[in-house]
Structure 1
């Protein structure tokens, strides 16, 4: 029978030569990775994934943990009320001071307002007035008791019951086509259906948005002061109404498009041939702008493509194409079925009591969708156009906060309780 000492001596650990050599290699490798002062070499520091020794990376940032005492909560609610209620009152007053002139010139709403005037209805006949070269008249008067209508004076068209927010609608476009591409992949073609082709003729741009463009033509005919004198040099400006980012990045004429201003309309030959005997211009007749200047232009694949200026000649010129700002504004789809879009603006002051006369060529049909159309003229302030709901919202939030502040104050006075009172603590039972 062996003693305990002998058993301890017998229980020795045997280390293989391979283990010794492996430990030696590890030690040598470790000494090779460190400098004389024991720090890591630069190449090892580059490979290290250890976060830097800073408070943010090591999660040593100081935190603020507010103690929500009754007094702190009551003071917070009072502060919210003191800020929101005065702001709401000011915003509401600014909105009420704005002047807004609105005329519904066609309505088919089952339960909505009727049209304010007659003579502009086209029913379910798109482009009726354009085809017949007709117009209707809208007359608006600036109120006598609200002061002058100061610039910038915005002119909007307003649509009721038109759902640009349907998913099928706002995805129905070919974004590559809108920036000039002449080729189309299968996904974009499917997105544009059923307005991608008419027989064998391609539609450019395709899709539901581009081919339901609001194409009523609105013209400011005159502005007459209360004394009967017509205000000159106060046009409705229709440029600068689209986002600059949209104009710069989201829309381009088709690849290969070109245009040229002619010295005279007689010298503007659309049938000119190049050295190979091919037509240099796709126009059939020169385009004449508002100033009487003549232009000739070229659209690629014109024989097999219907371009925007051919679909909406009353709104879009062949020189602008998809760069037309009314089209760009329309392509930025609305989030709600009742919306306004900017048509133009006036940069001159219109005195109180003045009369504005607009001439409208109504082409956009709203009977089928049981909708309505309106023309809106208004000035603006820092928060946009006339809208009382924003001021009411501020006042409501401030009022609710004030109500909570009064309630908790009464509770603190009538039935206070000590912080961390053990009577209100509940412990999990074992």
Structure 2
């Protein structure tokens, strides 16, 4: 029904003094502060285009030069559609432990740090169902038994195997890249043995704030921590004494528990100091931890803090991606040969992809990326050409700014 009174006369409308939520009548709250808006007249546009062009073209050529200076060595060692790569190929055999050797020859002098990446193709880590399949609280130490229904649903269908909890759960953690790369031979520019460093490949912020061993985990050095045992034939082995885990109780209170037996069946060698440690994981009889899922790659003393695992958990945006595996801190002379042994465990047949090792130097803009420099050059030349065009247009057929003669009103 049409209103019979004006809104101003309506008794339901509050007066200004009664409107308590009304913003204050000041310039800031009412958006009346004076503002400066640049007027883009032809002269300013032409000057801006020339400035952009003059800056972007030399920057683009410099970036192109830096990209061309990056030395990159690549070896594809397994692919679903290339029978010539079957020396390292494992078809559909998971955890095949198939070993092969790849020889690299430095085409130029390589300055450190020399980065070692692995590359996968046609692997869509950015798929929504894939990158959401993780439990961030579990990765930072919370027990699987404390999962909420929402967190468990995110990990579905890889939350449990039968009656055994997966820790960590989810698609990302349980499709971890588990090929192993070992430097077999190689010398630096001074003739010393190369060393493939695998520490320091993950982001420090990820290590500190995103990944932690589960609550209740504890470890303790064995009484004889050096892993050199005398065998019956008089030789030595680098395994730890299994008695270190037997008939022992925990002597610390790291997780608020005492008199708990160690869950290990045999101690593990710590990758940092090379000594033997016994360890305890909570609820191990009903939980499968990361070191049990990937025993050849993940040390039980590291668990989810393993840096290769942390690198894998940082999702790639494109289906073809590289992830850092390690690096050399020594220069490599031109023509030098070095060999990397691959233990192939990761199947690419299922997603029709390939696996490669890439060894490269880098620059201030990252690795080899010719597209970035070319983009700057092309955009710079477009700006210069556009500036010339508008200069000729303004010179030959100038137009006065805000000239009312160019306004065309619609006639009634």
TM-score, with length taken from structure 1:
0.80
- When the two structures are aligned, how many residues end up with a matched partner? 368
CA distance in 1, matches of 2:395, 2:313: 59
Q: CA deviation at 1:62?
A: 4.5
CA distance in 1, matches of 2:249, 2:48: 78
Instruction: Give the root-mean-square deviation of aligned CA atoms.
Output: 2.5
Q: CA deviation at 1:186?
A: 1.0
Q: Tell me, yes or no, if the aligned pair for 1:139 and 1:357 is still in contact at 8 Å.
A: yes
| 1:283 aligns to 2:251 (yes or no) | no
Q: 2:396 aligns with which of 398, 414, 419?
A: 414
1:2-50 Cα deviation digits (max 9, x unpaired): xxxxxxxxxxxxxxxxxxxxxxxxxxxxxxxxxxxxxxxxxxxxx9974
Q: Tell me, yes or no, if the aligned pair for 2:241 and 2:266 is still in contact at 8 Å.
A: no
| 1:377 aligns to 2:341 (yes or no) | no
1:78-122 Cα deviation digits (max 9, x unpaired): 11100111100100110001100011111125xxxx587551111
| 1:136 aligns to 2:117 (yes or no) | no
SS at 1:329 equivalent: helix
Q: Tell me, yes or no, if the aligned pair for 2:24 and 2:30 is still in contact at 8 Å.
A: no
Q: 1:192 to 1:225 in 2, by over 3 A?
A: closer
| 1:124 aligns to 2:96 (yes or no) | no
| 1:362 aligns to 2:330 (yes or no) | no
| 1:153 aligns to 2:153 (yes or no) | no
1:108 alignment partner in structure 2: 80
Q: 1:192 aligns with which of 141, 144, 155?
A: 155
Larger CA Rg, structure 1 vs 2: 1
CA distance in 2, matches of 1:336, 1:49: 47
2:195 alignment partner in structure 1: 235
CA distance in 2, matches of 1:83, 1:116: 47
1:262 alignment partner in structure 2: 222
2:166 alignment partner in structure 1: 203
CA distance in 1, matches of 2:150, 2:211: 20
Q: 1:115 to 1:372 in 2, by over 3 A?
A: farther
Farther-moved stretch of structure 1 (361-370 vs 416-425) = 416-425
Structure 2 gap segments, 5+ residues each: 1-20, 225-239, 251-256
CA distance in 2, matches of 1:201, 1:367: 28
| 1:178 aligns to 2:139 (yes or no) | yes
CA distance in 2, matches of 1:334, 1:263: 44
TM-score, with length taken from structure 2:
0.83
CA distance in 2, matches of 1:167, 1:116: 34
Q: 1:185 to 1:62 in 2, by over 3 A?
A: same
Q: 1:225 to 1:278 in 2, by over 3 A?
A: closer
CA distance in 2, matches of 1:267, 1:203: 26
2:205 alignment partner in structure 1: 245
2:70 alignment partner in structure 1: 98
CA distance in 2, matches of 1:359, 1:82: 49
Q: Tell me, yes or no, if the aligned pair for 1:105 and 1:115 is still in contact at 8 Å.
A: no
Farther-moved stretch of structure 1 (64-73 vs 84-93) = 64-73
Structure 1 gap segments, 5+ residues each: 1-46
1:370-404 Cα deviation digits (max 9, x unpaired): 00000000111111000101101111111211121
Q: 2:54 aligns with which of 82, 85, 91?
A: 82
CA distance in 2, matches of 1:341, 1:65: 46
Matches within 5 A, 1:290-309: 293-309=275-291
Q: 1:266 to 1:76 in 2, by over 3 A?
A: closer
Q: Tell me, yes or no, if the aligned pair for 1:164 and 1:335 is still in contact at 8 Å.
A: yes
Q: 2:373 aligns with which of 391, 399, 406?
A: 391
